[in-house]
Amino acid sequence: MKKQIQLVRVAVLAVTLVTLLAIGGSPLASHTMSHHDPVISERSEHLKRGGLQLAAAAQAQGKAVELTVYNQNLALVRDTRSFSLESDINEVRFSDVAAQIDPTSVHFRSLTDPEGTVVLEQNYEYDIVGSQKLLQKYVDQEIELVTEDGSEYRGILLSGTDDIILQDADGGVTVVRLDRVQQFNFPELPEGLITRPTLVWLLEAGQSGSQDVEVTYMTGGINWRADYVVQLNEDDTALDLNGWVTLDNRSGASYSDAKLKLVAGDVNVVREVKAAADRMPLVEAEALAAAPPVEEREFFEYHLYDVSRPVTVRDNQTKQIEFTSATDVPAEKFFVYDGAQGLSFYGYAISDPGYGTFSNPDVNIYLQIQNEEEGGLGIPLPAGRARVYKADVDGSLQFVGEDQIDHTPKDETVRLLLGNAFDIVGERRQTDFRQLGRDVIEESFEIKVRNHKDQDVEVRVVEHLFRWSEWEIVQESAEHAKLDQGTAEWRLAVPSDGETTLTYTVRYEF
C-alpha cells in the first residue's frame, strides 16, 4: 500500500482561493497582511545562491511610511523599517508592496550603515498564487479533488486549462468539468508561488545587528483630486466654499499611519506605470475623515499640501480630507449668449457664404470669483470639481450646477459654467454677405436676446470672427470689446419680458 501523502486542503469557492496550508516549511497564512505587519525574510542555514552562503535572514518591523500622491494616478512611497541582519549575505523580503509598483523605481538604502550595506541583487516577484496557477504547476503530478455531489477523484493531472483531466493508476482517464469542482487537494505549495507581490533583496552587510533601512518606490493606482462644495447666498452675490481632498487608493496596498503629502501640478511622466499584478476592482464606501490641519506651500514649480497628522489609507478606499474653507466670498453671476459656439479661425480664409451661419438658443449661466486674499481666498486652488448649491425658501440646499476648474494660482479668476438659463433665449441669423473684391468680404448678423424673467438682466453676447485673422467691425448697434484675436463681445441690457436686438457688420481683408 502506498504511503499516505499528507495533504494541504485548498477550498475553492468560485475562483477565489481562500486558504492554503503548506507542509514541510513555514506555514502559509491565509490572512491579508496590512502595510505594517511584520515582514519575515525566510532564513536558511544552508541556502546558497551563486556559491555564496546566505546568513540567517532577519525579521523586519515597520517604523514609518510616507506617501506623496500626485494628481496623475501616481504616488511615491517611502517605507522605513528595522531589520536584524547578520554580518554576511542576507536575503530580505518585503511582501507588503503595492501591486501596481514600478519595480524599476525601487531604491533601497540603509540608514544605519549606508557604507557597509551593499545591495547585490534586487528582484520583484509577482507570481501570485491562485487556483489556475496551482493547476498549471501540478500538471503531470498527482492531485485530489472533490465535486459538488461529494465524489472524490485522485490521479495524475494531465490538464486543468478548461476541464480537469486526470489519469488514474490503471491508465484510465477521467474528465471533470471545472465548474463542478468544489475542492482541490494539493500535496504542497509549489516553489515560486507567493500570496502577494514581494520585493526581494540579496544584501551583504558589513556588521551584525539591527539596521534601519529606507525603501522608496513609485506606484500607480493612487490618485487625488480636489472637490469643492460651494453655497450661494440668496441674491447670488457671495458664496461659502469648502475644499476637500478626495484620495482614491487602488494600488493594491494599504498605508497605515502614513505621513501624507499631496502634490498639485502637471508633473512630466515619461511612461505610464502599469500594474504588474491583478488588483481588486471594488472600492470601499467613501470614508469622510475628520479634518486635520493641512499646510500648503510651494515646492519646485508645483504646490504641495502637507497633512499634519498621520493618515491611514486603506486599499480600495476613497478618503476625503478638508484642506480649505472660506465664507462670504464675493461672487458674480452673469449670462453669456454664444450663438455659434465652437467656431474659430482655423488658419486659412473661409469664403463660403453659408459657413458659420447656424444658431443655438442657449444662454449660459456663469459664476465667477476672484481668488484673492481680500475676498477671503488668495490660495492656490488645485484642479477639481466644484459643485454649487443654493438654499430654497424652506432652507434646504438644492444643487444648481457644477464645473471643473483647472489649477488656479492666487489672484487669478475662477469661472464656473453652471448650466443654461430657462427664461432667457437667444437667436442669431446672417442678414447679408457681400464679396467686395477678390480679397474683401463683408458679413452682417442680427442677434436677438429675449428675457422672460420678471427682472432686467445683462447678457454678454459673444461672436467668433472666424473667416480670417484680419477683421474690422464697420457697423454695430452697440459698442463691442475685443476679447482676443478672433472674439468680440457685446454687453446688452435686456428688459424684463422684453427683447434686445444687436446688429453688426464685419469686414475681412485677406
Phi, psi of 137 (to 5 degrees): -70, -25
**pLDDT for position 483:** 94
Secondary element (H or E) of residue 93: strand 89-94
Joined grid coordinates for residue 71: 494628481
Joined grid coordinates for residue 391: 438654499
In a domain, 418, yes or no: yes
User: What is the C-alpha separation between 200 and 95, in angstroms, rounded?
Assistant: 8
Q: What is the CATH number of the domain that holds 344?
A: 2.60.40
In a domain, 360, yes or no: yes
Looking at the chain, the number of H-run helices and the number of E-run strands are: 1, 37
Q: What is the mean pLDDT of residues 48-73?
A: 60
**pLDDT for position 95:** 75
Q: What is the pLDDT of residues 345-375, one digit of tens each?
A: 888 889 899 999 999 999 999 999 999 999 9
**pLDDT for position 259:** 93
In a domain, 434, yes or no: yes
Computed over its alpha carbons, how large is the radius of gyration of the chain? 34
Identify the CA nearest to 277 among candidates 198, 217, 197: 197
Under 8 Å between Cβ of 69 and 263: yes
User: What is the C-alpha separation between 26 and 38, in angstroms, rounded?
Assistant: 15
Identify the CA nearest to 112 among candidates 82, 153, 151: 82
Domain that holds residue 436: 331-371+412-509
In a domain, 282, yes or no: no
In a domain, 260, yes or no: no
* Residues contacting residue 117 through CB under 8 Å, at least 6 positions apart: 85, 110, 203, 204, 205, 206, 211, 213
In a domain, 288, yes or no: no
Joined grid coordinates for residue 67: 506617501
Antiparallel, parallel or unpaired: β 287-288 and 317-330: parallel
Q: What is the pLDDT of residues 167-189, one digit of tens each?
A: 998 899 999 998 889 898 888 87
Q: How confident is the model at residue 293 (pLDDT cuts 50, 70, 90)?
A: low
- Starting at the edge strand that comes first in sequence, how are the strands of the sheet with 471-476 ordered? 424-437, 440-451, 498-509, 471-476
User: Per the confidence metrics, is the pTM higher than 0.75?
Assistant: no
Q: What is the pLDDT of residues 67-100, one digit of tens each?
A: 999 988 899 999 998 888 989 899 888 777 888 8
Percentage of the residues of the chain whose pLDDT score is greater than 70 = 82
Q: What is the pLDDT of residues 406-425, one digit of tens each?
A: 999 999 999 999 999 999 99
Q: What is the pLDDT of residues 439-483, one digit of tens each?
A: 899 999 999 999 999 999 999 999 999 999 999 999 999 999 999
In a domain, 382, yes or no: no
Mean pLDDT (the chain) is: 82
User: What is the C-alpha separation between 144 and 5, in angstroms, rounded?
Assistant: 11
Query: Which amino acid does the sequence have at 195?
Result: T
Under 8 Å between Cβ of 424 and 449: yes
Number of domains in the chain: 1
In a domain, 160, yes or no: no
- 306-311 own/partner pairs: CB under 8 Å, 24+ apart: 306/260, 306/261, 306/262, 307/259, 307/260, 307/261, 307/262, 310/257, 310/258, 310/259, 310/260, 311/257, 311/258, 311/260
Antiparallel, parallel or unpaired: β 397-405 and 471-476: unpaired
Identify the CA nearest to 91 among candidates 37, 39, 42: 42
